[in-house]
Amino acid sequence: MSTQRSNWGNSTTASVFLTLSGLPLSFELQWPFHRSGSGADFYLLHGDVHLEGSDGLHCLVAVQLTLTIKDVLPSLEPADVAPPVINTIRKQVERKQLEFLKSPKRVPIAFSARQYSFKRQQWDFVNASDEQLAELLRRKVYWSTKRGVDHVWMCDLTDAQYLGSPASRLLKVASHLPQWLRLEGEHASATPELMAEGPTIEAVMHAALEELEKKHAFERG
């Protein structure tokens, strides 16, 4: 159904991508991938992951694309590789492997066979329930609206890939949220009722961030 593709021509995307726990992320990716100069057998892409709604918290990342996964990609062009890159980073945030700071520390991220099912020949990140999809879409529209995006694409193929769901299912779930989302085709805008939920949605984000920070504080001892 959806043939629209996100614009990955620039290093910065206006889209906001949510974790299931409620953390809103935006990305700056420094294209293109380049062969690692260290003699290792992988390609490297630097990026900066911003936590929306925070006071400048972010995480510098170095995505390490293995040759095994390179072989299953159509190309290393942003249009082909940006969605699984973003979803690999998003999954690492979901697993509390990344820490958001105000420092320039860069974190390596393996873009490897862990994210790909060779048996099914497809990406394998999460399998979200309808309830999880509905909450993620609500939060996506809220945070995107706060970022200045008036019409949010409900069939974003990066979200569909991450959530293990066809784009048509995302749109169907969105259509069942008239109190929160005003649909026009495949795009949604926030209702006043959704924006009034801001304190609750932002409280969820801060709670998820607190859990992530507790995990890293424990590991540091």
CATH of the domain at 156: 1.10.10
Same domain assignment for residues 96 and 137: no
Residue 120 pLDDT = 85
Decide if 169 is inside a domain: yes
What is the residue whose two structure tokens read 């048996």?
119
Decide if 2 is inside a domain: no
Same domain assignment for residues 172 and 195: yes
Contact 98, 59 (CB under 8 A): yes
Same domain assignment for residues 32 and 113: yes
Same domain assignment for residues 188 and 92: no
Instruction: Look up the pTM and report it.
Output: 0.88
Decide if 43 is inside a domain: yes
Decide if 22 is inside a domain: yes
Same domain assignment for residues 28 and 105: yes
Same domain assignment for residues 29 and 85: yes
CA–CA distance, 103 with 119 (Å, rounded to integer): 40
Decide if 212 is inside a domain: no
Same domain assignment for residues 29 and 115: yes
Decide if 205 is inside a domain: no
Residue at which a domain ends, from 65, 90, 123:
123
Decide if 209 is inside a domain: no
Residue 13 pLDDT = 62
Q: Which residues of the chain have pLDDT under 70?
A: 1-13, 38-40, 220-221
Alpha-helix residue ranges (DSSP H) falling in 30-185: 67-70, 78-94, 130-146, 157-163, 167-175
Same domain assignment for residues 193 and 98: no
Residue at which a domain ends, from 68, 102, 123:
123
Residue 91 pLDDT = 95
Does an H or E element contain 189, and which? Answer: strand 187-190
Residue 142 pLDDT = 97
Q: Which domain holds residue 146?
A: 130-199
Q: How far is CA 59 from the centre of its chain?
A: 13
Distances in Å between the Cα of 104 and the Cα atoms of 22, 49, 57, 96, 108 are: 24, 12, 11, 19, 13
> Domain total for the chain?
2
CB atoms within 10 A of CB 73: 15
Decide if 35 is inside a domain: yes
CA–CA distance, 44 with 116 (Å, rounded to integer): 18
